[in-house]
Amino acid sequence: MMPILVFFLIWYAAFGRNNPRIYNKLDGKIGTIVFWLVALTVLPSFIPGVLGAMFGLTVAALAILAAFSPIIIPAVIVGRMLGFGKKKKGRKITYAPEERNMSTGLTKSVPKRRKIVKRFNKIYGLNLTDDEINKIVDASYMSFAWEKEIKDMDGDYDNVYEWYNSMTNWLRAYLKAFPVHTVSSDFARQKEIVVETFDQLLKEVNPSSYTSLEECIYDINNKYYCVLDETTFMMIYRLLQASGKYHKLPTSNLIRHESDIDKLKKKYDDTVDADVYSKVTASENAANDLIRMRRMQ
């Protein structure tokens, strides 16, 4: 048993403590495990005495059973006939099969998962803090969706927009565009967080008061230190619509633009007309002066 004890300690130091699931299960129990392994190492020396005592007890029990068997056996037979001890039939309970364990093939190592997220964060500028990265890694051991997110971060992309091409584009837009992130291991709750955050932001900004979406996004980025663009804005905006949160976006007012153009044109025409009128008036005055001079001669 001593080799097993040594092997266990080496295995835990090299692998067990780096795996959150194993670490959580064994945390505080290492001393107990070592105690039992040591006990099992010493126990064989006491086995002969224990076996002797068990043999003596077995012989005594058989002797007692033999002495009372003429009474016990008829009593058991009568009891069976009368139905004593018979189990009542009840409604059969069926249990749903356990959910199939899914896996992306992502490494189980905590440091390696953390390294993947840090590398992706640096390349594509997600502005994730170390604490947020740790929360994402921890969540990946409890949520298949988060595990898949880290697996996708381990891929190579020509640009960040290729990474956006996913059913979870709303989450990726949130991680990319917002300066601070709230991470939940419950993926449904994570979606609620994104919806609540963006909904509150749009309530404060009121996009319908802007003349263009570009102007609205520009003000949001300056006021809330975001890095939204039209793509990330619309991905999260569609998530809000799907969640029953509606906000009116800026619309291009063609009539108003035409009115502005008309005003400019009228101003230009008035200026030109005034200039032409002044020139014509000056010419007429000069001609009249010339006629008067000739008449005087």
Give me the domain span that covers residue 37: 2-66
Asked if the structure places residue 39 within a domain, the reply is yes
Contact, 139 vs 184, CB < 8 A? yes
CA-nearest of 183, 251, 250, 178 to 220 is 178
Domain closes at, from 195, 210, 242 = 242
pLDDT in tens, 185-237: 999 999 999 999 999 999 999 999 999 999 999 999 999 999 999 999 999 99
CA-nearest of 192, 139, 138 to 170 is 192
Domain closes at, from 242, 270, 291 = 242
pTM over 0.75: no
How many domains does the structure of the chain reveal? Answer: 2
Q: Could you tell me if 126 and 178 lie in one domain?
A: yes
Q: Could you tell me if 238 and 156 lie in one domain?
A: yes
Asked if the structure places residue 26 within a domain, the reply is yes
Average pLDDT, the chain: 79
Asked if the structure places residue 248 within a domain, the reply is no
Q: Could you tell me if 231 and 115 lie in one domain?
A: yes
Asked if the structure places residue 72 within a domain, the reply is no
243 Cβ contact list (under 8 Å, min separation 6) = 191, 195
Q: How confident is the model at residue 128 (pLDDT cuts 50, 70, 90)?
A: very high
Asked if the structure places residue 92 within a domain, the reply is no
Q: Say which range, 156-160, 231-235, 240-244, 252-256, has the weakest mean pLDDT.
A: 252-256
Q: Could you tell me if 31 and 115 lie in one domain?
A: no
Domain closes at, from 226, 242, 258 = 242
User: What per-residue string of b and e applies to 235-261 under the rule 16 or more CB within 10 Å gives b?
Assistant: bbbebbeebebebeebeeeeeeeeeee
Whether 127 shows a pLDDT value over 80: the answer reads yes
Q: Could you tell me if 56 and 154 lie in one domain?
A: no
Asked if the structure places residue 294 within a domain, the reply is no
Supply the pLDDT for residue 97.
41
pLDDT in tens, 50-73: 666 776 777 777 777 677 666 666
Single-letter residue type at 181:
H
Q: Could you tell me if 57 and 135 lie in one domain?
A: no
Asked if the structure places residue 8 within a domain, the reply is yes
Q: Could you tell me if 139 and 19 lie in one domain?
A: no
Q: Could you tell me if 58 and 115 lie in one domain?
A: no
Q: Could you tell me if 215 and 120 lie in one domain?
A: yes
pLDDT in tens, 105-124: 899 999 999 999 999 999 99
Asked if the structure places residue 271 within a domain, the reply is no
